[in-house]
Chains A and B, each alone.
Chain A
Amino acid sequence: MTDEYYKHVYVVMELEDGKLVPVSFEMLAEARRLIDIFNKKYKSDEKVVAVLLGHNIKELTKTLFEYGADFVIYSDHPELKEVRNTIYTKIISQIAEDKTIAAKISPDYAEKFKKPRYMFFGADAIGRHLSSTVLVELESGLASDINKLEISDISLNHQHKTGGKPEIYEKTLEMYRPDFSGFLWTTILCLDNRNPDIKREYHPQACSIIPGVFEALKPDPEKKGMIIEYTPKIDEGDLKVKILSRKITKSNVDFDSHKAVVSFGRGIKDSPEQNIKLVEELAKQLGAEIGISLPISKKPFPVSENLASTYMIPDRVIGTSGRKISPMMYMAVGISGAVQHLAGMKDSEFVVAINPDENSPIKNECDIFIKGRLEDIIPKLVEELKKQSTVVQA
């Protein structure tokens, strides 16, 4: 049994401009839930361990206990003020394999401790790359963009993993990721090779978690834990990578200051060019910003270069692969409503869908469902909007 070498869940916190990124709290909440179930089920005492790197961060460490961490390991150093992949990867990997730290978390396990059992990162501009490089360094597997997690004992008979013999993998993290279509859920497992020909241990079982999926715990000021400081070893050579400047940039797409957003999806397919123009007209009438569903960002239809570069771009994607928005009114035009898309718009105050198919999942997430082809409906809506606004003004 290799179980005794791998303990606890390590959760890598993210900071921007000295503040914790919300996904950090969300990951802690999910780690807490899983570990509580785990400890009960397996009668053990494993911990939620937050890992925090940065500069002048001592104060922040306490907050993490309120959000579900049992332990906080932190490294405070001027050179850690901003994330540099190489430096961060090395320090996080050192922390993950450090026996002295493991001894402080649980002396019973310290002798045999090799690596964390599980490890979580955010699936964003920080965690996506960091998780990739850390897991190469730790020589284990990684699943990305996860939106559901369970721990279970898996019986498996696999040609490579078990050499064609039935085996039970205890305490396995089932990592669910929605695929690009939004209709399929793939469960990914990270498993040791027990096949004698290719025997190898793969721990931690790690994943990156989609921001906004899990709910953070309500902070509990009563919760306390142990803070462990780790003095980082930074290689001189790695300091040659210099961050010269960081500037806030405004995207041309502005969902936040518009009270309405009109998004279009594959339903524009019969005459893309004209239909996008219809959507433009509707958005203009409502003073709305324009969004798209993920498939549109892959430019599935030939339209003029101008329309393509204005609208069929990742910046406009609403959903887990793009923006999460909550405008006063959201209109889904020709969007069937894959889960990823729904995750990006479900907090909108009022939702209108235009769709010919009443069985589309979008119907479960809208307040008004206008049944029909967008080609027929939008011109009527625009006309009626003009009419009704004149009445009010008069």
Chain B
Amino acid sequence: MTDLIRILIAPLVWLAAFSAVYGLHGLICGHAIGGIAFGLPLPRVLMVAAYALAILAQLALLAALYQPRFASPSGFVRFVSLATGGVGLVATVWSMFPVVMTTYCT
């Protein structure tokens, strides 16, 4: 079961982060959350922070999957888990990139 978790964890975290960021976006627009933080609109700051957090989580996961302490003893599982770890990272960077690019509530 641990080997399966190694394979599934990074995409699972991507899915959770993606849903959370979409939920945060809904919350911001649904409740018309506004304001300024660090000289920038608060909604943008919140979403970029969530985006950065999601990327950091993926980087940490990928680093952990490279560590002998967390990596699988099976070469095959190690390979697949690193590949899906890469998928998690790329999916996070790409699918949530709109938080720095587009308008948020229009």
Asked if A and B are interacting partners, one says no
A interface vs B, CB < 8 Å?
none
B residues adjacent to A (C-beta < 8 A)? none
